[in-house]
Amino acid sequence: MAKRHYIPVTADVPGAASQGNCALIRRVIRTALAAEGVDFPCEVDVLLTNDSGIHAINRETRQVDRPTDVLSFPEFDLMPGELPAPEDADPGTGLVPLGDMVISMERVAAQAREYGHSNRRELSYLVVHSVLHLLGYDHLDEGPQKAQMRAREEAILGELGIGR
């Protein structure tokens, strides 16, 4: 039996870490990791916050003075398709620490309204987006990198049965 990933979900705003949100986030992360070929036990830490919480983190870590929807803090400097090595596992836990994600639940609700879909779909999209960042994907250009990341996002959401 394969070891399971460790995915702690915490929140600094009331109600954000509901049982439903936590279960969805964990399912999406596991599906995204499997789709990217991650077959070893990993840790991904998730913080659910609001616009002011993510604004403070964005300002502190990236010197960007505004809220955003999701922040990703990868543990490794990877290229898309590249994975950490088994020896990167924490000796104490046996888990490879992929990194952290921070999601603004206020942005989830606002963007779901803006794009005309459910909060569930928006939260799933942001989680997939963040997992791909943790695994080295980026979208700094408007060309091939962004297209590659968008294609992976849609494929993973399709595997989850979460379409537009």
What six digits make up the tokens of 119? 């909060």
DSSP state of 6: B
Picking from 90, 91, 162, 95, the residue whose alpha carbon sits closest to that of residue 125 is 162
55 annotated ligand-binding residue: no
- Helix boundaries (H) for the chain: 19-35, 51-62, 105-115, 119-134, 144-159
| pLDDT tens across the length of the chain (164 residues) | 355 899 999 999 998 989 999 999 999 999 999 999 998 999 999 999 999 999 999 999 999 999 999 999 999 999 988 999 888 999 999 999 999 999 999 999 999 999 999 999 999 999 999 999 999 998 766 678 888 898 999 999 999 999 76
Under CATH, to which class is 9-159 assigned? alpha beta
Give the Å distances, CA to CA, from 41 to 16, 19, 34, 63, 92. 26, 23, 11, 33, 13
- pTM score, whole prediction: 0.94
117 annotated ligand-binding residue: no
> What are the boundaries of each domain within the chain?
9-159
